[in-house]
Amino acid sequence: MPPKIRGMARNLTPSKSFTLMLSSEDALVSEDDHPVGNAPPKGLPHERFLLGNQVPVAPILLLGQSNLAVNPDAIIAALQPVHLHATRDHLILMQQKQVQLSMADSSRLLKVALPLIEEDFQNSLLFAGQHDWFIEAGPFSSLASHSIDQAHGRNIDWWMPRDTHEAGVARSWRKLQNEIQMLWHIDPVNIERTEQGLPAINSVWISGIGKLADVKPPEALQGAQRIFGSHPLLCGLARYLDIPYQTQLSIPTDLAGGFAWLDQPKSIWPKLKQALEDNELEEMILIDFPKGQMRKRTLTAKTVRKKSWAFWRQAQQLSWEEITQV
């Protein structure tokens, strides 16, 4: 278990405040927007907000999926078995939830690829989950990589790992990737998946390269009393910060002091409005990322009411769409 962040100021008395963070997309949304010769932005805006500008996703995911004691200075990489969808002139990375990869199939594919992986990484595998395999990055430590959340649904040419200060590393990764692709192409797992109408696992993705020492969580997360949400990053951050964690935000629950990143944030909005009206909460902090820039707003019982020129009419509360489009 990693130690708590040194010097972190935790408010042990829950405030009557609740923080809700929304997912984000890149400011660059079109392939045509890519600046010629430039590398992609490192991490999605919400990934940078949660982890810091180095975006060390892999070690945090490792904490969230295992009970390992992770060396804060070890550079960890996440490997993910994926499906690359072929279009007429390029390949597109599919989201993992679209692939429907079982733990059994993941384990069988890993068994085939593991000797190549450990030979080229010059390290033993640390942990294998259903969708993520973790290993010390070794010779691949300097690669610039991007999470599947950032790269999915796009032409992978621009999102493939790149060299940073050491030339030839990306080429070495592509060689290993190609060798694994050839092994999996004829593997019984993919023959069975094809017969079942499932997409073949035809490649491996590397992402999240970094170390725990580079994690820089925001104050909004460090001071939380509870963390809610199903994304694996939250589980790892909760363990890193030693904060109670729940995958679901059950209703009713004590919202005060909570930090949430939810799959369906709209569904909790009526409860949050009522909590503000009933003074269970004094404020709600809404964090989102319009055009890739972090925006933080404080909402109270007063500010979630619509203003009306007709003073005799009862004020109506703002809808979720009105709040998020402001």
Query: How distant, in Å, are the alpha carbons of 147, 264, 265, 291 from that of 22?
Result: 18, 9, 7, 13
Instruction: Express each pLDDT in 57-78 by its tens digit.
Output: 999 999 999 999 999 999 999 9
The token pair at 230 is: 């199903």
Q: What does the DSSP assignment read for 33-48?
A: GSPTTPPPPSS-HHHH
Nearest-CA neighbor of 18 among 243, 246, 254? 254
Mean pLDDT of the chain: 87
Instruction: Express each pLDDT in 34-58 by its tens digit.
Output: 554 567 888 999 999 999 999 999 9
State the CB neighbour count (10 A cutoff) for residue 313: 9
Per-residue model confidence (pLDDT) at position 307:
58
State the CB neighbour count (10 A cutoff) for residue 282: 15
Residue 70 · residue 63 · CB < 8 Å? yes
Number of H helices, E strands in the chain: 11, 12
Q: What does pTM read for this prediction? A: 0.88
Q: In what order do the strands lie in the sheet with 203-210?
A: 125-128, 133-136, 76-82, 203-210
- In this prediction, residues 207-223 reach a mean pLDDT of 95
